[in-house]
Amino acid sequence: MDFALSTEQLELSRAVFDFAREQLNDDLAARDANGSLSRELWHKCAQFGLLGLPIPVEYGGQGQDLLTTIVAMEALGRGCRDNGLIFSLNAQMWACQMPLLRYGTEAQKRQWLPKLVSGEAIGAHAVTEPGAGSDVFSLTSRAEPINGGYRLNGVKTFSTNAPLADVVLAFAYIERSAESKPKLLTGFLVPRATPGMSFGQPMSKMGLRTSPMGEVIFEDCYVSESERLGPEGVGAAIFNSAMEWERACIFAGHVGAMERLLDDCISYARSRRQFGQPIAKFESVANKIADMKVALEASRLLLYYAGWLHGQGKTTVMESAIAKLFVSENHVRSALNALQLFGGYGYMKEYPIEREVRDALSGTLYSGTSEMQRKIIARCLRL
């Protein structure tokens, strides 16, 4: 088993880390307080090539494989302290771009992928509803076939990037007059200017405050058949295919953040003195840092393994779920360890630790809750 990264992967990791550290951290405290995403930083990320990492060259991307993309997103998470920006980038890449790449027609891909990759357009994914989260069978949004297209009605919530989105990938059940026919979950690419689609006010969140989130409302919104993504009834497949990439790549950023927290804690423990010596000399402090290191290395290996399996052409449904579950929960533990280590300073807004705790907590919820990951793992084990 060879765990060594290639020269190209290492060079990409260093380049992404340097770019993120030098270009993406200015005025973060103010942006977090205001709950605003910086379009300037978004465009910088696009120009650097981050949004196009897994997208083929013919659509403006770089055509990287999953493992290489994981390596790059890990470096982004380590260098960039703006976890909300990273989350929004990932939300577009995995929940919008990859489904479009896999299920879109050539015309749809030509229309949207170059714009999304270049930063000219922002994409949002709209599946969750006020009464339906993990249970997609409870979705109430409906698409009624009419005049060569569909009439959409429904309300979506917790939609990342929705307040700024130029295109929304929305999911609804096809509803026909014949009740005996099954309702088919289907995806639709809806441009922002489409009549009948509107957006609620941006939501104020505990963490990831620089990532905009809001409601998407459909009221007799007509979309043409050419705006349907894939055939009728493949909505579940679209959603699941996005999750396989998302659970691996979005949590690579968490691994990077865990390493950044570890670096911060080591530096602080060496410099902070109590009772005549650095607090790093106290066993209770050193043990917390040792636990953070163990969690970091195990998280990284789980993600890299999922990426390697994907590169071998194998399914990674269970491996991605395992990685997502382990990384998200250990990121929270590491952030709380860092808060405890920094003590009163860690609780103050002038230090970044309290923001890291707020941001880390969300990872156990999005891309499927921890409970849903355990359910997926159990199902893969035929339990």
Check 246, 259, 319, 354 and give the catalytic one: 246
Cα(187)–Cα(127) distance, integer angstroms: 9
Identify the H or E element spanning 306: helix 283-311
Please say whether the beta carbons of 101 and 113 come within 8 A: yes
- Residues present in the chain in total: 383
Give the pairing type, strands 197-199 and 213-224.
Answer: antiparallel
230 C-beta neighbours (distance < 10 Å), count = 19
Cβ contacts of residue 29 below 8 Å, gap of 6+?
349
Closest CA to 306 of 232, 246, 363: 246
Residue 324, both tokens: 């997502």
144 is catalytic: no
Phi then psi dihedrals of residue 382, to 5 deg: 60, 40
Cβ contacts of residue 216 below 8 Å, gap of 6+?
124, 126, 155, 156, 159, 162, 168, 170, 197, 198, 199, 200
Closest CA to 358 of 1, 29, 7: 29
| Cα–Cα–Cα angle for 379, 139, 191, rounded to 5 degrees | 115
Cα(224)–Cα(234) distance, integer angstroms: 17
355: left (phi over 0), alpha (psi -120 to 50) or beta: alpha
Please say whether the beta carbons of 129 and 155 come within 8 A: yes
Residue 176, both tokens: 């026909």
Catalytic residues: 246
